[in-house]
Amino acid sequence: MTTRERVDQLVQAFPKVYPDAHCELDFRNPLELLVATILSAQCTDKRVNLVTPALFAKYRLAKDYANATPAALEKMIRSTGFFRSKTRSIRGAAAAIVAEHGGRVPDTMEKLHGLPGVGRKTANVVLGNAFRKDEGIVVDTHVSRLSHRLRLTRQTDPEKIERDLMKMVPRQHWTNWSHWLIWHGRRRCFAKRPDCHHCEIFQLCPSGKLFVRSGEARPLESASLAPRARPH
């Protein structure tokens, strides 16, 4: 089976395994998702969701974040870690949204990526989940890990992994593809001891048999030999 054929089968299998897969950050609008995504860096979604209710109640508009004092914002988000840099990113992005986009979160990759503190991953999260636009594939630690275990890429850089995946995964599934891999990474394909014995996609995973034999998720030497994706 070629890599492309396995991806086609995974696209059919994952919706049956995770029919309710979605972004697990709580939000009601694009601004809330943008802020929550910035906070999620090096932090769990669960922790972010504990912090954001009070944050969203106090800061409702981009101008509220832009005018917030750093100390007040830092205090509210401290438990998410890296709170000083996250405060700078949130205030910087909000100020740009007010100054350049009329107070509304932009809905294109170019404009979102152009906001201070907003990288391609964050832009992909907002575009895919707040605006329902499949402009790219979110590559977090779960997507990166599973992409290597499924041998869909040779790359280690997130943007290069994303480019490889975009060549193989049909565009209409780009946003959901990230959800599927993230949900599978959190619920089955753990970093240290993947639950291969109960894995719903075991037959489609080149790494499964190795993990079952070894009993642990060792780094795959053969991952560097992953087949290159063919362009559409």
Are 160 and 168 in contact by the 8 Å Cβ rule? The answer is no
Identify the CA nearest to 67 among candidates 98, 43, 42.
98
Q: How far apart are CA 1 and CA 174, in angstroms?
A: 22
Annotate 152-206 with three-state secondary structure: CCCCCCHHHHHHHHHHHCCHHHHHHHHHHHHHHHHHCCCCCCCCHHHCCCHHHCC
- The one catalytic residue among 86, 121, 134, 164: 121
Are 60 and 66 in contact by the 8 Å Cβ rule? The answer is no
Q: Does the annotation mark 121 as catalytic?
A: yes
Q: Supply the Cα-derived Rg of the chain in whole angstroms.
A: 19
- The one catalytic residue among 64, 133, 140, 167: 140
Q: How far apart are CA 194 and CA 129, in angstroms?
A: 28
Q: Does the annotation mark 140 as catalytic?
A: yes
DSSP line for 74-86: HHHHGGGS-HHHH
Q: How far apart are CA 25 and CA 18, in angstroms?
A: 17
Question: Residues with catalytic annotation?
Answer: 121, 140
